[in-house]
Copies of this chain bind each other. A is one copy, B any other.
Amino acid sequence: MASYPGQEMNTKDSASPRFDLIELFFFAYRDFTGDPDVLLDELGFGRAHHRVLHFVHRNPGIRVSDLLDILKITKQSLARVLKQLVDDDFICQEPGALDRRQRLLYTTEKGAELCARLSKLQTQRINKAISLMPDCSDEIIRQFLYLMIDENERSEVAHLITKQTD
């Protein structure tokens, strides 16, 4: 888009900030992530554990380095929560069949069950919202959230979310 004189319709020299969406996004995400907290707390876990459990469950046999790539945290950060999840038997590790340096990650039955309970809470909130909206909404929302992701990461995310777990 080129800039040229007389282009602006506004008296201001830039578009108005979208405070409505900025704030709605903030509050919506807060409450969305708040649902699982109660359950996690009972087990002595936090949101970091939730994220690890979730992405391991969704990507069975994932390599540690690939998990780090999804979460965008350091291996030292991951190590702490992963150790707890393994110690408490929510996640298990197996050496890779082809490359035995790898410790491929899987949820245990216990881990899968917790994951299911957590995602059920979040799904309930999502479904309740969508049930009150027009028919086309589901796809619109997906499209919006997808376009809010950094352009260079979209294809990776697209690949992730199209996996089937259940």
Partner of A150, one of B18, B23, B31, B165: B31
Q: State the interface size on chain A (CB cutoff 8 A).
A: 60
CB-based contact B119/A19 at 8 Å: yes
Contact with B along A4-40 (1 / 0, CB 8 A): 0000000010111111111111111111101000000
CB-based contact A15/B165 at 8 Å: no
Residues of B within 8 A of A43 (CB): none
Interface of A is mostly: helix
CB-based contact B32/A153 at 8 Å: no
Q: How many copies does the complex hold?
A: 2
Stretch at the interface among A60-68, A86-94, A99-107, A135-143: A135-143
Which residues A125-166 have CB closer than 8 A to chain B? 125-130, 132-134, 136-137, 140-150, 153, 157, 160-163, 165-166
A84 touches B (CB below 8 Å): no
- Knowing A141-B144, A144-B129, A144-B130 are in contact, say whether A153-B27 is a contact too (CB < 8 A): yes
- Knowing A17-B116, A166-B17 are in contact, say whether A147-B128 is a contact too (CB < 8 A): yes
CB-based contact B126/A19 at 8 Å: no
- Knowing A128-B147, A129-B147, A144-B133 are in contact, say whether A119-B27 is a contact too (CB < 8 A): no
Other A-B contacts than A28-B145, A31-B153, A134-B140, 4 sampled, CB-CB below 8 A, are A19-B161, A22-B54, A125-B148, A133-B140
